[in-house]
């Protein structure tokens, strides 16, 4: 029996940062990972691979040079998914090297194998040869992540019908695809394929895509993508999916039939808790196979914590990292990181990017906040014109009576980078005057903040 201060199950963003946080302050830590590679789905099938694919699609299609170069789809003839993933291997190698170096520096013990609870403080680890190993921990952090939900009625074969993991193993770029699910994953892949000239039909049960976003931003993105050729079907669910000699035939609930060469089902993920033996320690899961936790990421057993995708929304790598850190600071009483920031950014790597933080117009109306909006368009910004982004917009939402910033929403190039300035002002309870007072480099996209603030002020003054 090996004894540790902390046992971490899973080496994704939450597990890695949680383990490093505890080890940094001198705790004896063991991290269990079922594969030989560190980094979890974020490096294997999620964050890094999908963003690499996006960058490759922008380069090959010419979309990044929108007004500068014509789009030549002939460049993609014969390209395979592996061609697009070439850069991924170098990025993943370097990220895994950094994690391994951090663990070595902090003396985190890496244990490869499949973990299962024996009792509330003991975890059994079985390696690839079937040999068992028993670890006990004063504190345990569950960070096993999530996996795509595969409806049992869908005949997934990973040749014609894919989930968001197997999609990246596709042997060729198809001519057409049906994407089911208008959430982040579905919209990211739908936009990437559309940029490559693939005829994509996106099916979603709701009345708008990315429904958690400010409605104006999601509508602008949808309009832009339709202009690039994306077909969107709202208010529909897949009823029956069949593999035919020519590809895929999908019958929707309404009876409408949609056909394509391939299909991607991106209609949800579930916690990867199967085989963990949670029932042995009295821990349950909700209907999405997620583990319920309190605001300190404790489960029903106070010494067992959970963080990252396994606890559900928002399931973003950036937030999962901070959850792991906060959990371990609480577990061991470190006077360091006690909470997440009150404002958490959303970064969506569609084409174009979307990023948002704070209140939406819809949430302001629901809360009866007297608000105003200021906008600045990329097309009116010198840097926006230089890079050829004619569709982007930066939107500020602020309180009318004191101009306090309430929300920032960006659609366009570098949106996920630009959001942080607005988030800093939001977190410090600042007003839109902060953007007017700042001096920005010229020409830059950051200037959009200043002119969105001016636009908001003109509306306050009735101009």
Strands 176-180 and 262-265: parallel
pLDDT over threshold 90, residue 205:
yes
CB atoms within 10 A of CB 185: 22
pLDDT over threshold 50, residue 457:
yes
pLDDT over threshold 90, residue 200:
yes
> What confidence score (pLDDT) does residue 68 get?
40
pLDDT over threshold 70, residue 75:
no
pLDDT over threshold 70, residue 416:
yes
Q: Are 100 and 88 a contacting pair, CB within 8 Å?
A: no
Dihedral sign from CA coordinates of 162, 168, 170, 176: positive
For the chain, the average pLDDT equals: 90
Query: Sheet of 371-377: strands edge to edge?
Result: 346-348, 354-358, 405-411, 393-399, 371-377
As a whole number of angstroms, the distance between CA 326 and CA 332 comes to: 10
As a whole number of angstroms, the distance between CA 202 and CA 191 comes to: 10
Q: How confident is the model at residue 186 (pLDDT cuts 50, 70, 90)?
A: very high
Q: What value does the mean pLDDT take over residues 403-411?
A: 98
As a whole number of angstroms, the distance between CA 429 and CA 395 comes to: 17
> What confidence score (pLDDT) does residue 102 get?
85
**What is the dihedral angle through the alpha carbons of 61, 173, 146, 225, rounded to the nearest 10 degrees?**
40
| Domains defined along the chain, listed by start | 2-148+270-332 (3.50.50.60), 161-267 (3.50.50.60), 352-460 (3.30.390.30)
Written as one string, the DSSP assignment of 176-205 is EEEEE--SHHHHHHHHHHHHTT-EEEEE-S
């Amino acid at each position: 029996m090996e004894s540790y201060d902390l046992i971490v199950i899973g080496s994704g963003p939450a597990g890695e940062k949680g383990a490093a946080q505890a080890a940094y302050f001198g705790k004896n830590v063991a991290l269990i990972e079922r594969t030989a590679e560190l980094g979890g789905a974020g490096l294997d099938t999620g964050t890094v691979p999908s963003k690499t694919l996006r960058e490759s699609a922008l380069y090959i299609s010419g979309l990044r040079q929108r007004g500068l170069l014509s789009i030549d789809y002939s460049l993609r003839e014969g390209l395979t998914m592996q061609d697009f993933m070439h850069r991924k291997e170098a990025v993943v190698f370097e990220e895994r090297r950094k994690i391994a170096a951090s663990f070595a520096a902090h003396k985190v013990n890496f244990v490869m194998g499949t973990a299962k609870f024996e009792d509330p403080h003991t975890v059994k680890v079985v390696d690839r040869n079937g040999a068992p190993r028993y670890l006990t921990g004063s504190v345990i952090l569950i960070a096993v992540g999530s996996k795509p939900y595969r409806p049992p009625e869908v005949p997934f074969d990973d040749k014609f019908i894919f989930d968001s993991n197997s999609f990246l193993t596709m042997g060729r770029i198809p001519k057409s695809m049906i994407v089911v699910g208008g959430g982040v994953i579905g919209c990211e892949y739908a936009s990437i394929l559309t940029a490559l000239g693939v005829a994509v039909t996106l099916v979603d049960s709701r009345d708008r895509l990315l429904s958690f976003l400010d409605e104006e931003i999601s509508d602008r993105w949808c309009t832009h993508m339709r202009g690039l050729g994306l077909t969107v079907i709202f208010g529909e669910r897949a009823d029956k999916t069949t593999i035919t000699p020519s590809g895929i035939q999908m019958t929707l609930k309404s009876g409408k039939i949609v056909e394509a060469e391939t299909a991607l089902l991106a209609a949800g993920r579930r916690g990867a808790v199967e085989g963990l033996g949670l029932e042995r320690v009295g821990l349950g899961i909700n209907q999405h196979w997620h583990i319920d936790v309190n605001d300190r990421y404790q489960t029903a057993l106070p010494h067992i914590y959970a963080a990252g995708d396994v606890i559900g929304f928002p399931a973003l790598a950036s937030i999962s990292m901070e959850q792991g850190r906060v959990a371990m600071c609480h577990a061991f009483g470190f006077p360091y990181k006690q909470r997440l920031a009150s404002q958490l950014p959303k970064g969506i790597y569609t084409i174009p990017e979307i990023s948002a933080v704070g209140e939406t117009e819809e949430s302001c109306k629901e809360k009866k906040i007297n608000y105003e909006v200021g906008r600045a368009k990329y097309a009116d910004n010198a840097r926006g014109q230089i890079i050829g982004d004619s569709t982007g917009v930066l939107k500020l939402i602020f309180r009318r009576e004191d101009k306090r910033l309430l929300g920032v929403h960006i659609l366009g190039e570098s949106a996920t980078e630009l959001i942080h300035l607005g988030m800093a002002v939001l977190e410090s309870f600042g007003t839109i005057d902060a953007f007017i007072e700042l001096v920005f480099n010229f020409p830059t996209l950051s200037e959009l903040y200043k002119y969105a603030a001016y636009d908001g002020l003109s509306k306050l003054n009735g101009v």
